[in-house]
Amino acid sequence: MIQRIQSIYLSLATLLSLVFIRGSFLNFADRTGAVIKVTFNGIVRDGIGQNPEMIEKLFPLTVLIILIPAISLVTIFIFKNRKLQLWFSLFLVILAAVFVIASIHVSFRIVSKFDARLIPGFKIILPIVILVLSILAFRGIKKDDQLVKSYDRLR
């Protein structure tokens, strides 16, 4: 059913993951005062009085940023096939976990390579929130599936 709580979790995960498409979600400051940003396209260094330069493209992170909202949106609308919805939500949980791990890996790599420090921001915790929402949606879909199976046993 589309009006269930897991639809709300999946909708929130979709909206929060769309935030990563615009702007930077990890910001670092190095010793020279330049800001190193992790964006949808890759790692960008924005020096003081200089044009931003692309340091490195992060294709796997870009693919994850595109796949997470797409899979969560598809998962909402396949509510008539609970088994398929359960598989899609499990795949979403795996993608969200990989996104968290990839973000942490990129952060550590930037800190060590450029001797930079992390600039805190609200987008830092969003991958973890998306992971939690995905897990809650998976649990809700599984609970619905078990409820329907229990009604089938009563018939």
What is the dotted CATH code of the domain comprising 5-154? Answer: 1.20.140.150
pLDDT at site 149:
83
pLDDT at site 52:
87
What mean pLDDT is predicted for residues 34-57? 89
pLDDT at site 120:
92
pLDDT at site 49:
75
Quick one: tokens of 99?
Answer: 């996104």
pLDDT at site 28:
94
Domain ranges across the chain: 5-154
pLDDT at site 119:
92
Residue 117 main-chain phi, psi, to 5 deg: -120, 150
Measured CA distances, 101 to 2, 4, 79, 108, 114 (Å): 31, 29, 29, 11, 20
